[in-house]
Amino acid sequence: MKGYFAIILFVIAVSFFSSRIIFEKKRGTFRFAGVEIFILGVILSFVFSGQDFLTSLWPLIIFALAFAGFGFGIQFEKRILKKIRAKSFLYGFLTSLNFFLFFFILHFFYPLDMAIPLSAIFSIPSSTVLFSIKGDKRPVISGELSIALILIYYTVAIYGFKGVLISVVLGLAGFLIILFERILNKMEMYILFFGFLLLIASLSQMFNTSIILSAFFMGFVIAFFSVPYHSSTLVNRIEQPLFLTLLFSSGLFFYLKSVSIFILLIPYTFIRFFFVSPLFKKKSIFFIPIGALSIALSIETKIPYLITFTAISYFILLVIFEFIFRGGKWHI
């Protein structure tokens, strides 16, 4: 276990230190943010072939997955939900359609355990990119709502309704966090928060449900029923390093043959754009990149084929987005 911990510490160090360089250097642009870490993971996947390296990282990965779900859930503050309009639900409906359409097409070519996550991955927009929209925030809210819906569809399809129910019950732990947010100091709150996140992640694994969805519900409960003080500062503090941890893990799962399904990106871009453009017109291009949450989702499946595809698609679509958005001017 000491060896495992050394590896975990190494990955944490790489993630934290590189996040300083990567995100501070590339502030304002999304293109290739974190690709270095992904490539490092790919290189190490050749050096440390076999499952041992990945097994050793699993505790960190499940924490990162839980954190990804939590970080998303905590965005659902009451003031944001109050801005939901009929259009948001319409977009939610269209995203659902997007999910089912993809699933319908993909299930002819892939087994269910691949087709379902792939459809979900193809339907999750990037909330980070959406948040960069200036002015009217309706597309952001629509995007957030659709991600939540897709997470639920995915969990129902893979783990059944029982899975969603368990995730909801585990998410209720958020009420305990609310109870202590005002009483405890920042450091104490962090300790408790880490404990709860680890608890939710491990219990989700034990009761066979999605770690991301359970943590999402916990974040949602906190955001909806209180004003998160310490939790949101913690999210801001370690969000980027943990995202890099996920990218690094994606690199470790690298599977060369998955390159063959990149052809799917062409219909994906068109379908996504087609569904969104009547609603958000020019802002529709913000919906093209797939979300970082998709990377988390793909890792949760543990299917290397899918993980590699998602990570590389993530970068490609960010580049396409930046190219269109910035009118073809490359920002280096």
Partner 1 sequence: MAYLMLSALFMFLLFLVGRIALSPSILVETVLSLAFFIIIGFFLGKFFERIRFPAISGYLIAGLLLSPYSFGLMNFEPLNNLTFITEIALVFIAIQSGMEMKMSFLKKHGRDIVRLTLSIACITFSGVFIASFLIFQKISLETPLKGAILLGVLLILKSPLSTIAVIKESGVKKTELGDKILGIAILKDIFVILLFAILIPILSGGNSSAVFVVLELVGSLAVGLGVGVLVALYMRHVNVELSIFIFILAFLVSQLRFIHIDPLLVSIITGFFIQNFTSAGKEFQKVLDGISPAIYLLFFALVHALTDIHMIIKFLPITLILIGVKWFFTELGLIVGTKDPIMRKFGSVGLINQSGLSLVLVLLIGETFPAIGDTIKVITIAVIIVTDLFAPALFKYSLVKVSRLKKEDRGKDSLPS
Query: Smallest Cα–Cα separation from 170: which of 79, 70, 45?
Result: 70
Tell me: does residue 27 bind partner 1 (CB under 8 A): no
The two tokens of residue 114 are 């691949």
| Nearest distance from C-beta of residue 192 to partner 1, angstroms | 6
Helix, strand, or coil here: 245? helix
Q: Identify the residue among 110, 159, 196, 275 touching partner 1 (CB under 8 A).
A: 196
DSSP calls for 37-79: HHHHHHHHHHHT-SSHHHHHHHHHHHHHHHHHHHHHHTT--HH
Q: Identify the residue among 20, 162, 257, 281 touching partner 1 (CB under 8 A).
A: 20
| Nearest distance from C-beta of residue 154 to partner 1, angstroms | 21
Tell me: does residue 198 bind partner 1 (CB under 8 A): yes
Interface positions, 159-178, toward partner 1 (CB under 8 A): 176
Tell me: does residue 13 bind partner 1 (CB under 8 A): yes
Cα 249 from Cα 57, distance rounded (Å): 8
Nearer to partner 1, 89 or 190 (CB): 190
Nearer to partner 1, 67 or 286 (CB): 67
Query: Smallest Cα–Cα separation from 295: which of 331, 234, 242, 259?
Result: 242
Cα 94 from Cα 46, distance rounded (Å): 41
Stretch that binds partner 1, among 16-24, 113-121, 280-288, 307-315 (CB under 8 A): 16-24
DSSP calls for 76-134: --HHHHTT--HHHHHHHHHHHHHHHHHHHHHTTTS-HHHHHHHHHHHH-B-HHHHHT--
Binding mask 52-71 for partner 1 (x = CB under 8 A): ---x--xx--xx--------
Total residues contacting partner 1 (rule CB under 8 A)? 33
- With residue 297 as reference, give the H or E element that holds it: helix 292-301
Cα 131 from Cα 177, distance rounded (Å): 26
Tell me: does residue 284 bind partner 1 (CB under 8 A): no
| Nearest distance from C-beta of residue 76 to partner 1, angstroms | 24
Nearer to partner 1, 84 or 199 (CB): 199
Q: Identify the residue among 104, 194, 225, 229 touching partner 1 (CB under 8 A).
A: 194
| Nearest distance from C-beta of residue 236 to partner 1, angstroms | 15
Stretch that binds partner 1, among 77-85, 130-138, 203-211, 316-324 (CB under 8 A): 203-211
Q: Identify the residue among 29, 202, 232, 269 touching partner 1 (CB under 8 A).
A: 202
Cα 303 from Cα 255, distance rounded (Å): 9
Cα 114 from Cα 176, distance rounded (Å): 36
Interaction site with partner 1 (CB under 8 A): 1-2, 5-6, 9, 12-13, 16-17, 20, 55, 58-59, 62-63, 176, 187-188, 190-192, 194-196, 198-199, 201-203, 205-208
